[in-house]
Amino acid sequence: MRSIPLEVTEMRELRILQAGVLDHAFVSEAMLRMQQQRIDDEIPDTLILVEHPEVVTIGPKAIRDGVEVSGYSTSIVDRGGGITYHGPGQLVGYPIIKWRQDEQSIRGIINSIEDWVMAAFADCGVVGERNEAMMGVWVGNHKVCSIGLAFKHWVSRHGLAINYDIPGTRIEDLPCCGLDVGSTTSLSRLGYGHDLSGRPIDRQRLEEALFATCEEFLDRTPSEPIEWTPVLLV
């Protein structure tokens, strides 16, 4: 692991910041700051990879629809969509990317991220699908990856959440993204606990698959992962 570089590269590199378990509120604050830094070209395109302690984020659609969540910690967010579960057994990725002029279509960006996740799943031996009526990636009739973004001057914030092995039924008990209870689940519950070589499909395996497929679908080359901790943000 190397420390975060201060210079901004002109290459189409995607700087990878790997974190352990960090509170959603902390990362949200960091994303806001980094989004403005990316707008000002003070940092390169960046992908934060992190896990959160359990929290349910509530988007504008859920607020408009009067969705209520009980028995979970909650946080109001400004990304698109309804409610999203975060917690153990889930890999969260936040792309702080300045999308080029030829990329500036919200639906196109979402499609690229969906294609990227589906390619990463395929690398693990999992067939993911797109649902034209709902953002995200599905396996059969179940949603296993949520996607929700917010933009400012075509720099994205928020991102994607891949459910690989969430314990219990904490996510299945929620009407995530306005879906019926039980529609959102984890890869492990669908029988995808291991890849074709027998390796567990865990955070490390999914990160490797995302790195391997990133350039093809995001047109950016992932950097060597950089260990990201609160100390580095000071």
Evaluate whether residue 197 is within a structural domain: yes
Q: Is the pLDDT of residue 109 over 50?
A: yes
Question: What mean pLDDT comes out for the span 151-170?
Answer: 96
Q: Is the pLDDT of residue 225 over 50?
A: yes
pLDDT for position 4: 46
Residue 233: pLDDT band (50, 70, 90) is: very low
Please indicate whether residue 177 is annotated as part of the active site: yes
Evaluate whether residue 49 is within a structural domain: yes
Instruction: Name which residue leads in pLDDT, 134 or 210.
Output: 210
Evaluate whether residue 177 is within a structural domain: yes
CATH number for the domain harbouring residue 23? 3.30.930.10
CA 218, 219, 220, 222 torsion-angle sign: positive
Task: For residue 87, give its domain range.
Answer: 13-233
Evaluate whether residue 2 is within a structural domain: no
The model's pLDDT over 49-100, given as tens digits with 9 standing for 90+, comes to 999 999 999 877 776 666 778 788 888 888 877 889 999 999 999 999 999 9
Q: Is the pLDDT of residue 10 over 80?
A: no
How many distinct structural domains can be found in the chain? 1
**E-assigned strand segments in the chain:** 13-21, 46-51, 55-58, 74-76, 83-86, 90-96, 129-131, 134-139, 142-152, 155-163, 221-222, 226-227
Choose the catalytic residue: 124, 145, 177, 214.
177
pLDDT for position 231: 53
Evaluate whether residue 81 is within a structural domain: yes
